[in-house]
Structure 1
C-alpha cells in the first residue's frame, strides 16, 4: 500500500464521513467517533502540537491504554512528520528513562494522573522532556508543573489555528511519503536495554493490507482494542488494519471491564495471546464445576460431541448426518450460549500468537465453532510472516508464508525471513541492525524451526536457547526449554514455567501455579489455604503438579529428538513471577537468565538433590513499596520414561 496513515484517514473521512471509526466506553455508555470527527480532532491536535514546536522527524512518547484521543494524537504526530513511540502503561517509571533519552523526546502525551506522575518522577533524568500533555484531567487540578497541560487545551488551541490556517493540515499530510518513518516500537529487552524498531508507513501498511486480504477483512468488522498500544500486535490489529480496512475499533472502559465489554461489542475479528484464551477457559471450567449436576453432565456430554465433530466441521471435512444433528443440538444448548458468555458469538476470525498454544486449548475453541488460528511474526517483521488459512489451522504449526514473504533455514536451523514488512533499522544501533539484517535483505529471526511436508512452518525454540544435555543417560541430547515450558503451561493449573538443563545432566523446572485454577481445585476438596505462598507448598498441590509434569515427560519420550528434555525434578515457586520484580518482560516473557541468577540457591538445591530449601525474596508492590516473602520450598522428583524409538 503506497500511502500513509494520515492519507488513509482523509480517504475514510471523505468517503464515509458519518460511519463510526471508534467507540469508547465512558461511564458505562459507548460513545461513537465518526471518521469526519476523527479527522477534525487529528487536524486540531496537529495544529496544537505544531504551535508547541513539534518538528518533522522528532519523536513523541505516548503512554496509556487504548483511547480515541491517544489514537488521534498518533495520527496528528504522523501528519506533522513526527514519530509516535508508545510505551507500556504498566511500566515502572525507571523503565521509561532509556526510551525517552534514547529518542531525545521533548513531548510526552499520557492518559491520566498515574502516567503524569511517572513522567514527573523521571524528569530530572530526562531534562529534555519539556511538554507533558494529559488526556484525563481527573486528579490533576492542583498540579503546577512547567510544560504540563491538558490535551483538550492543545486541541482547542489547534482548532483556532486550523480556522486561521485552513490549508495547513492538508499541506502537512501531502508532505508525507510511504517511505517516511511512521512509528517506533521498543523490544522487550530480555537481555539488556530495549532496542527501538523503526518502521515506515509502507512496512506497516503493507503487512496490514496483506493480512486483511488473507482473511477478507472489510469495513464491517468490529474489533476490541484492549492490549497495550506499545505492543506492535495491538498496533497492527487496532491501528494499521483499522486504517487499511476502515473497520470500527472499540476501546473498553478499563482493564477490569474487558470481559463485559467483549460481550457487549461482540467482535468479528479478535486477537488474544494464549494466556487470555487460557484465562477464559479456566473461568468457564470453574463455573461448570460449581454448576448443578444436570447442567454439568450436559456440558461434558456435548463437549465430547464437539471434540469429535467440531474441528472436522471447521476444517470443511465431511461429517455424518447423525453427528451433524447431534452437534447442532449441542450448538443450541451449549456451544451457542457458551460462545455468547465468552463474548465470541460473532467472531469470524480469531488469532493467537506470541507463545505456543496448547493443542487441547486450541481444539476446545475450534470445536465450539470459533475460527481460532495461529500466526507467526515479530516486532521486526511488522507481525505478519506466516498465517494459517481457513481449514488448515493446526496447533503444532504457525501457518504458511503469507504474501510477499520468503523463508529459508540457515545451516543451524535458524529461520530467515525476507519480507516487505521488515524493519528499517534498530534506532541508533547499527551493530544490532547488522546482526539481524544481512546485506541481501534476509532477517535473522533467532527462532529455530522447519517447514513441514504441508508447507507449514513449525517453531521449536529460540536458537540461542536450544542447548544440550551434558552427562547422564541423555548425554548430548537436545534441550529445548521453551518447548518444555509451553507443554507444561498447556495445563490449566500451571501459569508459568522456567526450565533449566543446558550443559547440565538433567532438566529441572520452577513452576508458578495458576492461583485461580488451583485455588478453585483446592476449595472443591475442602483444602484450606492462606494465600498464594501457602497454597503453592501444599503436598496435595505438589502431587497435582507432579501428575502434569509426568504427563509431559511421557509425551516427550515419544519424540526421539526431545526425549532428553524430560523433567527430572521440579519445585513450585513461593511467589508469582512479576515484571515489576524483573522476572518477566512487559510482554510477559520469562527472563530465564535473570531468574536463574536470582533463584540460584533454588537451582543449586534442585541439582544437588535436596528435598527442601529455604528462601527469602524481595518483592515490589504496585504502590512502589518493597517487602519480603520467605518460605521453605519443597523440591520433588518426577518420573521419566525411556525414549521410544521411531518406526523406520
Structure 2
C-alpha cells in the first residue's frame, strides 16, 4: 500500500462530512473524514502485523532497526551509558524473532505451556528495550497473544490479577522483576515458565534459578530460548486479520483492569490509517522509544515507523536523561505527551522573562510567528528560527519533523507556541485503548486547530449521542454536544472474560461508547469537553439501551 500525501491545498472548513440519512433522535448524524471518507480495502492493503514487519524488512533488510545505548559503567556502580547507539538490523531481528517464536511454538504445541481451551497468551513485563519489541514480533509471527504489564500494575496485586485473568503460562521479564514473581508464585497457579531478558550468569542469577526450581517454575534466559529455537526452526504460523494480536489492560474508570482484546486487523488498520497524510523526511521514520510500550500509543507509533522501514532507538529509561537521549539520537518523529511538552514549553518561556535585548527579541519573535500561524497556519523556517528558535529545536535533537501528542489535553497556547518554536507539524489527537489509540487527529497547518483534536481518522466514523443527565444534546447551539461514539475497523470486539463491560461499551450496531463528551464545530473538528460522570452512568446506559432496542 502506498503512502497517501496531503493535497497541496486543504479545505479546513470541511474536515468532517455527514453521512446522508444517518441523523436520528438523540444523536448526531455519522461523520467521516472530510478528505478521504472511510478507508477502503485495496488489493495492496495489509491486514496483519507480520505483514507490517515484512514491508519494513523488504525496504531496509540490512539497515539499522532497533538500537540502544550500551551500559559502560561497572556492575553495582551508577549507570552510565555510551555516547553512541548499538544497532540490530532488520535481518538480525528477523532471525531472532524466528528463533524465539520457534521455541515458543514448540513449548505450546507440546502441552508444557498454555490453556488448551483458550488463547495462547504470553506476558511481557519490562521497561522499553529492543528485546521487548523482538519478543512481541515473535508473538505476532507465531500466532501468540501478547499481554503486557507496566510498572504501575506489576508491583501490586493488580499484576497478579492480570497474569491469572489472562491465563498467562509464560512471562518474559527483566531480571529485576523476577523476585516479585517468585514471591507471588503460589498465587499464580497458571504460570509455568519465566524468561529473563537479562543474563543470569552471576551469583544473584544462580540464586534466582534455585529459587525458581523450588517454586516449580522453569526459568530460562532469553539466549537459551533462542538457542533452542535455532536448533529446530519452525516457519511462522499464518495469521488472519481476525486473529487476536494482544490483550491490553486498562483500568478505565473502575478499579479492576479490563483486558481489551485487539486483533491483527485492528492494529494493521491504524498503521494503514497513519499512512494517510503522514510522511517522514527521506521516507523513513526515526523514533526514540521512551513512552511505555505496554500502552497502545507507543506501539502504534512504532508500527508506523516499521512500515516505513525506519529505525527505533531506545531511551535509557531515565526521565532525567531524556533530553540527552534526544540530542544524541536526533529523531525525526517524536510521539509525546503533555507532561513532556509542557516542560519544553516552560523551559523555553523562561527566556521571555530575561531582561534586556535578548528577552525583547524572544518576545517579538513569538509575537510575529504567532501572528502568521493564526492567519495562515504556516510555522516554517525563517529569520526567527535562525536567530531565536534554533536552540529550542536543538533540545529535541534538531531534526524533528513531526510531533504527535495524546493521552491528555494540552493547552492551546502551549500547542501554538510549540508549533512556532519547533517549526514542525505538532499533531494533537484522541484515542483510547479500545480503538487502538486512534480516533481523531488535527490536520496540519490548520490555523484554528489548537484546542481541538481534529476530525475523524480515515479508519473510523464518529457520532455524538445525547447525555441528558448532564445537559449535553445533539441539538445544542451553536455546536452539537454528546458522548463520542466510534465505529470502524480499528475498534475492539470485546473485553476478555467481561461480558458486562463489553455490553456497556460496545452496542449492537458496533459503536464504541467512549465515555468522553465531545463537541463538534462547524468545520468538523471535535473537542473533548467533559467525561460522562459515574453518578449518571447508570441512567445514561439505560437510555442508551432503550435507543438500541428501538433501533
Q: TM-score range by the shorter chain?
A: 0.7 to 0.9
Higher relative contact order (CA 8 A, sep 6+): 2
1:34 to 2:89 alignment: yes
Aligned to 2:315: 252
1:465 shift after superposition: 5.9
Tell me, in whole angstroms, the C-alpha distance in 1 between the residues paired with 2:335 and 2:458: 20
> What secondary structure is seen at the aligned counterpart in 2 of 1:212?
coil
1:195 shift after superposition: 0.4
Aligned to 1:152: 223
Tell me, in whole angstroms, the C-alpha distance in 2 between the residues paired with 1:11 and 1:426: 30
Matches within 5 A, 1:179-218: 179-217=242-280
1:12 shift after superposition: 3.6
Tell me, in whole angstroms, the C-alpha distance in 1 between the residues paired with 2:159 and 2:372: 50
> What secondary structure is seen at the aligned counterpart in 1 of 2:312?
strand
Question: Alignment partner for residue 267 of structure 1, among 328, 331, 344?
Answer: 331
Aligned to 1:625: none
Cα distance change on mapping 1:294 and 1:450 into 2, 3 Å: closer
Tell me, in whole angstroms, the C-alpha distance in 1 between the residues paired with 2:513 and 2:406: 19
Tell me, in whole angstroms, the C-alpha distance in 1 between the residues paired with 2:175 and 2:374: 45
The answer on whether the counterparts of 1:211 and 1:384 sit within 8 Å (CA) in structure 2 is: no
Aligned to 1:140: 205
1:122 to 2:184 alignment: yes
> What secondary structure is seen at the aligned counterpart in 2 of 1:234?
helix
> What secondary structure is seen at the aligned counterpart in 1 of 2:334?
strand
Aligned to 2:74: none
Question: Alignment partner for residue 366 of structure 1, among 419, 423, 426?
Answer: 419
> What secondary structure is seen at the aligned counterpart in 2 of 1:271?
strand
Aligned to 2:285: 221
Aligned to 1:406: 461
> What secondary structure is seen at the aligned counterpart in 2 of 1:214?
coil
Return 51-60 or 267-276, whichever deviates more: 51-60
**Unaligned runs of at least 5 residues, structure 1:** 163-167, 318-323, 468-648
Question: Alignment partner for residue 341 of structure 1, among 354, 376, 395?
Answer: 395
The answer on whether the counterparts of 1:226 and 1:251 sit within 8 Å (CA) in structure 2 is: yes
Tell me, in whole angstroms, the C-alpha distance in 2 between the residues paired with 1:142 and 1:311: 63
RMSD: 2.4
Question: Alignment partner for residue 510 of structure 2, among 433, 441, 446?
Answer: 441
1:462 to 2:527 alignment: no
> What secondary structure is seen at the aligned counterpart in 1 of 2:164?
helix
Tell me, in whole angstroms, the C-alpha distance in 2 between the residues paired with 1:455 and 1:88: 36
1:194 shift after superposition: 0.7
CA-to-partner distance for each residue in 1:530-574, whole Å, 9 max, x for gaps? xxxxxxxxxxxxxxxxxxxxxxxxxxxxxxxxxxxxxxxxxxxxx
1:417 shift after superposition: 1.2
> What secondary structure is seen at the aligned counterpart in 2 of 1:184?
strand
Tell me, in whole angstroms, the C-alpha distance in 1 between the residues paired with 2:276 and 2:184: 44
Question: Alignment partner for residue 83 of structure 1, among 142, 145, 154?
Answer: 145
Question: Alignment partner for residue 497 of structure 2, among 414, 428, 439?
Answer: 428
CA-to-partner distance for each residue in 1:137-192, whole Å, 9 max, x for gaps? 37534322231221111112211222xxxxx224x2xx211210001100124322
The answer on whether the counterparts of 1:59 and 1:105 sit within 8 Å (CA) in structure 2 is: yes
> What secondary structure is seen at the aligned counterpart in 2 of 1:223?
strand
Aligned to 1:279: 343
Question: Alignment partner for residue 377 of structure 1, among 420, 428, 431?
Answer: 431
- Higher Rg of the two aligned structures: 1
The answer on whether the counterparts of 2:196 and 2:220 sit within 8 Å (CA) in structure 1 is: yes
CA-to-partner distance for each residue in 1:358-389, whole Å, 9 max, x for gaps? 12111110121232121111111112211111
The answer on whether the counterparts of 1:2 and 1:178 sit within 8 Å (CA) in structure 2 is: no
Matches within 5 A, 1:440-589: 440-464=509-533
CA-to-partner distance for each residue in 1:332-364, whole Å, 9 max, x for gaps? 121112111233x32222111121111211111
Question: Alignment partner for residue 8 of structure 1, among 39, 52, 60?
Answer: 52
Cα distance change on mapping 1:384 and 1:374 into 2, 3 Å: same
1:418 to 2:450 alignment: no
Aligned to 1:586: none
Tell me, in whole angstroms, the C-alpha distance in 1 between the residues paired with 2:511 and 2:55: 34
CA-to-partner distance for each residue in 1:246-303, whole Å, 9 max, x for gaps? 32111112224221111122222221111110122233345776x7855444433433
Matches within 5 A, 1:15-30: 15-27=59-71, 28=82, 29-30=84-85
Question: Alignment partner for residue 300 of structure 2, among 218, 236, 260?
Answer: 236
Cα distance change on mapping 1:185 and 1:297 into 2, 3 Å: same
Cα distance change on mapping 1:380 and 1:126 into 2, 3 Å: same
What is the TM-score normalised by the length of structure 2? 0.76
Q: How many residues align?
A: 446
Aligned to 1:94: 157
The answer on whether the counterparts of 2:506 and 2:513 sit within 8 Å (CA) in structure 1 is: yes
> What secondary structure is seen at the aligned counterpart in 2 of 1:142?
helix
**Unaligned runs of at least 5 residues, structure 2:** 1-44, 72-81, 468-481, 537-551
Cα distance change on mapping 1:356 and 1:246 into 2, 3 Å: same
Question: Alignment partner for residue 62 of structure 1, among 111, 124, 127?
Answer: 124
Tell me, in whole angstroms, the C-alpha distance in 1 between the residues paired with 2:162 and 2:273: 30
Tell me, in whole angstroms, the C-alpha distance in 1 between the residues paired with 2:56 and 2:405: 29
Aligned to 2:384: 330
